[in-house]
Structure 1
Amino acid sequence: MRGLVIAGTHSGCGKTTITLGLMAALKKRGLKVQPFKAGPDFIDTGLHRLVTGRHSRNLDIWMCGQEYVKECFYKYAADADISIIEGVMGMYDGEHSTAKLVGLLKLPVILVVDAYGMAESAGAIVRGFVSYSPIRIAGVIFNRVASDNHFKRLKDSVQEDVTVLGYLPRDLDFEIPHRHLGLTVAEETPIAKENIAKLADTVLEHIDMEAILVMDDYPPLHSRKNGHVGDYPRFTGATVESEQSPTSAIKIAVAYDKAFCFYYEDNLDLLKNAGAEIIAFSPLSDSAIPDKADAIYIGGGYPELYAEELSKNTSMMKSINGWANSGKPIYAECGGLMYLSKGIYDFNGKFFEMAGVFPFETEMKKGRSHLGYREILLKEDCILGKEGDKLKGHEFHYSEIVNNSYELGVMSYELKNKKDSKNLSLVTCYSLLNNNRDEGYTFKNTLANYIHIHFGSNSEIAWNFLNHIMEQKWKA
Structure 2
Amino acid sequence: MARALLIAAVASGQGKTSFTCALAHRLRRQGRRVRAFKVGPDFIDPCHLAAVTGAPVHNLDLWMVGEARCAQWLADAARQADWLLVEGAMGLFDGSPSAADLAARLALPVLAVIDAGAMAETFGALACGLRAYGAPRRLAWAGVAANRVAGEAHARMLRDSLPPGMPWLGHLDDGVPRLPERHLGLVEAHEMQARLPASWQALDAALHLDLAALQRLPAWHRPASLAPPSAPPPLLRGRTVAVARDTAFSFCYAANLDLLCDLGATVTTFSPLADEAVPPGADALYLPGGYPELHAATLARSTRFMTSLRDWHAAGRPLLAECGGMMVCARTLRDLEGRDHAMAGLLDATAEMGTRLAGIGLHAWDTPHGELRGHVFHYGQLHAHATLVPAARTRPQHHGRPEAVYRERGLTASFFHACFASNPEATAALFGA
Partners of 2:236 and 2:303 in 1: how far apart? 33
Q: Which residue of 1 aligns with 2:414?
A: 449
C-alpha contact (below 8 Å) 2:361/2:396 kept by paired residues: no
Partners of 1:13 and 1:221 in 2: how far apart? 29
* CA distance 1:431–1:103, change in 2 (3 Å): closer
C-alpha contact (below 8 Å) 1:233/1:459 kept by paired residues: no
Select the residue among 173, 179, 183 that pairs with 2:186: 183
C-alpha contact (below 8 Å) 2:289/2:323 kept by paired residues: yes
Q: State the SS of the aligned residue for 1:161.
A: coil
The 5 A counterparts of 1:81-120 are 81-120=82-121
Q: 1:140 and 2:174 equivalent?
A: no
Partners of 1:465 and 1:400 in 2: how far apart? 23
Partners of 1:280 and 1:460 in 2: how far apart? 22
Partners of 1:256 and 1:357 in 2: how far apart? 20
Report deviation, 1:135: 1.6
Partners of 1:118 and 1:265 in 2: how far apart? 38
Q: Which residue of 2 aligns with 1:72?
A: 73
C-alpha contact (below 8 Å) 1:266/1:456 kept by paired residues: yes
What letter is aligned with 1:360? A
Instruction: Encode CA deviations 1:285-329: one digit per residue, 9 max, x unaligned.
Output: 033111211111010111111111111112211110111011111
C-alpha contact (below 8 Å) 2:362/2:396 kept by paired residues: no
C-alpha contact (below 8 Å) 2:259/2:424 kept by paired residues: no
TM-score, length of structure 2 as denominator length: 0.93
Q: Which residue of 1 aligns with 2:305?
A: 316
Select the residue among 160, 163, 167 that pairs with 2:164: 160
What letter is aligned with 1:439? A
Report deviation, 1:403: 5.0
Q: Which residue of 1 aligns with 2:374?
A: 393
TM-score, length of structure 1 as denominator length: 0.85
Partners of 1:431 and 1:401 in 2: how far apart? 15
Partners of 1:332 and 1:170 in 2: how far apart? 42
Q: 1:208 and 2:173 equivalent?
A: no
C-alpha contact (below 8 Å) 1:68/1:233 kept by paired residues: no
Q: State the SS of the aligned residue for 2:366.
A: strand
C-alpha contact (below 8 Å) 2:235/2:425 kept by paired residues: no
Partners of 1:433 and 1:334 in 2: how far apart? 16
Q: Which residue of 1 aligns with 2:339?
A: 350
* CA distance 1:281–1:258, change in 2 (3 Å): same
C-alpha contact (below 8 Å) 2:284/2:317 kept by paired residues: yes
C-alpha contact (below 8 Å) 2:403/2:414 kept by paired residues: no
Further displaced range: 117-126 or 332-341: 117-126
Further displaced range: 360-369 or 192-201: 192-201
Structure 2: runs of 5 or more not aligned: none
Report deviation, 1:201: 3.0
Partners of 2:211 and 2:249 in 1: how far apart? 36
* CA distance 1:367–1:210, change in 2 (3 Å): same
C-alpha contact (below 8 Å) 1:108/1:218 kept by paired residues: no
Q: 1:341 and 2:330 equivalent?
A: yes
| Rg comparison, structure with higher value | 1
Further displaced range: 436-445 or 426-435: 426-435
Partners of 1:459 and 1:342 in 2: how far apart? 31
Q: State the SS of the aligned residue for 2:348.
A: coil
What letter is aligned with 2:181? H
Q: Which residue of 2 aligns with 1:127?
A: 128
Report deviation, 1:431: 4.5
Q: Which residue of 2 aligns with 1:328?
A: 317
Percentage of pairs with the same residue: 35
Report deviation, 1:31: 1.3
Report deviation, 1:224: 12
Report deviation, 1:461: 3.0
Partners of 1:124 and 1:430 in 2: how far apart? 45
Partners of 1:81 and 1:212 in 2: how far apart? 12
What letter is aligned with 1:303? P
Report deviation, 1:442: 1.2
Partners of 1:64 and 1:368 in 2: how far apart? 25
C-alpha contact (below 8 Å) 2:363/2:394 kept by paired residues: no
C-alpha contact (below 8 Å) 1:187/1:257 kept by paired residues: no
C-alpha contact (below 8 Å) 1:78/1:223 kept by paired residues: no
Structure 1: runs of 5 or more not aligned: 235-239, 409-424, 470-476
Q: Which residue of 1 aligns with 2:39?
A: 38
Select the residue among 158, 162, 171 that pairs with 2:175: 171
Partners of 1:54 and 1:15 in 2: how far apart? 19
Q: State the SS of the aligned residue for 1:320.
A: helix
Q: State the SS of the aligned residue for 2:362.
A: strand
Partners of 1:316 and 1:464 in 2: how far apart? 25
- Report the RMSD for the aligned CA atoms in angstroms: 2.1
